[in-house]
Amino acid sequence: MRRRDFLRVAGMLPLIGGGLLGAAAGSPPADWAGLRRQLKGPLVLPGDSGYDRARRLFNPVYDRVRPGGVAYAATAADVAACVNFVRTARIPVTARSGGHSYAGWSTGTGLVIDVSRMNSISYSAGRATVGAGAKLVDVYDRLAAHGVSIPAGSCPTVGVGGLTLGGGIGVVSRKYGLTCDTLESLQIVTADGRVLTCDATHHAGLFWACRGGGGGNFGVVTSFTFRTHPIRDVSVFFLRWPWAKAAAAVKAWQSWAPNAPDELWSTLHLGRDRNGLYVQIGGLYLGGKGALDRLLAPLSAKLGANTSRYVAGSSYQHAMMVMAGCASLSVERCKQTGREAFAAKSHMAYRPMPDKAVNALVAGVAQGGTHSVLLDALGGAVGRVKPDATAFPHRAALFSVQYYADGSDRTWLRAIHATMRPHLGDHAYVNYIDPDLTDWQAQYYGPNAGRLAQVKSTYDPDRLFRLPQGV
C-alpha cells in the first residue's frame, strides 16, 4: 500500500515568515562568505549549484520561496555560528529538519538552518540519542537493530525534530505515549548562541516547552535522547466497507477505537479519489492475529461484510514500513518516495460526534473534489499524562480529525472545517499547523499558552525565532 493510499495529502498557500533578503537597514552587511568559512557543513547560496534542491520542502507548493541561504549544519557549533550570524546581521532565521511543515514554515527569505545532516542514531542501555535531522524511517530501522523503538509518526520522511517538538502522534502512542512523552533530554542552541542541555532538572521550563510547544519557537534543537521500548511482533489490518456504511462505520469506530486496549491503535479514513468514495479502518495491534480478530469482531458485527479485508502478523520493523506506505520498499527507496502538494486542516475531538455531525462529515466527503478525512485514535497512554505536564495540552482528546485536499485550494477544507466546528470545538494540534487559524494560541496550547509565553520571553526575549503563529 502506498502512502498516498493510506494518507491522502496534498498544498496550502503559505504565510511564509516575512523577512529581508539581506541585512536590515542600520546593521552591518551580511558576511555570507565569512559564515561559510566558519561552518563544517556546506552553506548553499543563490546561484550555487544545488540551491534549487536545497530550498525545497516536502510540499512543492512552497518551491517559490527563495531563502537568502541554506546552511546544512554539521555540528551544534555550526548551528551556534548560524544563530550568531543572523542575530548580528538581523536576518530572518528558520530551522528545518524534515521539511514537512504543513504551512511551509521551515523555509523563509533569510537563513534556513537545516539540521538534516545531524542525523546520527545511537543506542545504549534503554536510551536512544537521535540527531534532530533524522528521518523517522531511519529511526525505526536503526533502533530495530537493537530490538527497541520509540513511539513516533508514520510518514517515513518526517523529521524527528519537528515531530517531537510539536508532540508526535503515532501508531503505538496509545501504548507508549507521544514522542515527546518519551523524551528525557535534548540539546538546543538558543537565540544568544548558547548550546544548552535541557532535561527535567536543567532548564526545566525550556524542556517542558519543547515537548509540545511546536518547532521554530525556542531555538534550534540539535539532538534528542529518548527512553526506548522493546519491540515485538505485531499485527496490522486494513478493512473496507461499501460507502453506504460510512456513517455507521464512523459511529461504531468513535466509541470503539479510543476505548480499545492500549495495544490497539486504529485510524478511520473517509475519502474521495479518482476511483470513487471509500471508507477504511486500519491500524496496528501489539499482539497476535487471533487476538486482533477478536477485537475487530464488534466492528464486523455492526458493519457487516467487508469489501476488502487484510489482517496479518508482521515484525515490528516491517509494520512501520507498511504504515509508512513502504511495504515493498527498502529503507533507502522509501526515503525517495515522492513529494506531494496538499492542503490540510484539523480538529482534536474531545467528545464523540453526535449522529447529526457524523452525517454532515460523510456528506462533506461525498462532495466533488479529491480529498479525505482521517480520524486517528488517541486515549490510552496519551490520555494518562496531565494536560500541563508537557506543553501538549490535548490529553483528553479521543481522536484527531484531519481534512486533506489535493493541491493548494482550501475551499473544500474551509467548508468542511466550518461545518464540523460546532460539533468538534476549537482544539488544534500544532504539528498540523493551520495558517487559517486566528485564535491559534488557544487552539494549539489551551491553558499552557501562558507558560509557553514566559519560556519564550526567558530564552528569546528579542524574538529572533519568529513564525506567523509563533509563541
Ligand X SMILES: Cc1cc2nc3c(=O)[nH]c(=O)nc-3n(C[C@H](O)[C@H](O)[C@H](O)COP(=O)(O)OP(=O)(O)OC[C@H]3O[C@@H](n4cnc5c(N)ncnc54)[C@H](O)[C@@H]3O)c2cc1C
Question: CA dihedral in degrees (5, 7, 8, 13; nearest 10)?
Answer: -150
Cell of 395: 490529553
We find the least distance from the C-beta atom of residue 297 to ligand X, in angstroms, to be 27
> Among residues 7, 11, 106, which one has the least CA distance to residue 343?
11
Of 216-224, 255-263, 363-371, 414-422, which segment contacts ligand X by CB under 6 A? 216-224
Contacting residue, 11, 69, 92, 99, with ligand X by CB under 6 A: 99
Rounded-to-integer distance, Cα 16 and Cα 4, Å: 26
Are the C-beta atoms of 323 and 253 separated by less than 8 Å? no
Binding mask 114-133 for ligand X (x = CB under 6 A): -x----------------x-
Contacting residue, 431, 443, 448, 469, with ligand X by CB under 6 A: 431
> Among residues 266, 313, 243, 324, which one has the least CA distance to residue 5?
324
Q: Which is nearer to ligand X, 100 or 269 (CB)?
A: 100
> How many residues sit close enough to ligand X to count as binding (CB under 6 A)?
35
Binding of ligand X by 254 (CB under 6 A): no
Contacting residue, 61, 86, 139, 163, with ligand X by CB under 6 A: 163
Of 147-155, 196-204, 304-312, 325-333, which segment contacts ligand X by CB under 6 A? 147-155
Give the CA count within 13 Å in the CB-facing half-sphere of 301. 7
C-alpha triplet 198, 204, 205: angle, nearest 5°: 115
Binding of ligand X by 400 (CB under 6 A): no
We find the least distance from the C-beta atom of residue 243 to ligand X, in angstroms, to be 25
Binding of ligand X by 266 (CB under 6 A): no
Rg (CA), the chain: 22
Identity of the amino acid at 42: P
Q: Which is nearer to ligand X, 291 or 437 (CB)?
A: 437
Q: Which is nearer to ligand X, 108 or 446 (CB)?
A: 108
Cell of 396: 483528553
We find the least distance from the C-beta atom of residue 102 to ligand X, in angstroms, to be 6
Question: Phi/psi of residue 71, each to 5°?
Answer: -100, 120
Binding mask 57-96 for ligand X (x = CB under 6 A): -x-----------------------------------xxx
Rounded-to-integer distance, Cα 227 and Cα 297, Å: 34
93-96 and 111-114 as β-strands: parallel, antiparallel, unpaired? parallel
Rounded-to-integer distance, Cα 60 and Cα 393, Å: 31
Contacting residue, 54, 76, 121, 169, with ligand X by CB under 6 A: 169
Contacting residue, 55, 100, 174, 251, with ligand X by CB under 6 A: 100
Give the footprint of ligand X on this chain (CB under 6 A): 9, 58, 94-102, 105-106, 115, 132, 153-155, 158-159, 161-163, 165-170, 215-216, 220-221, 431, 467
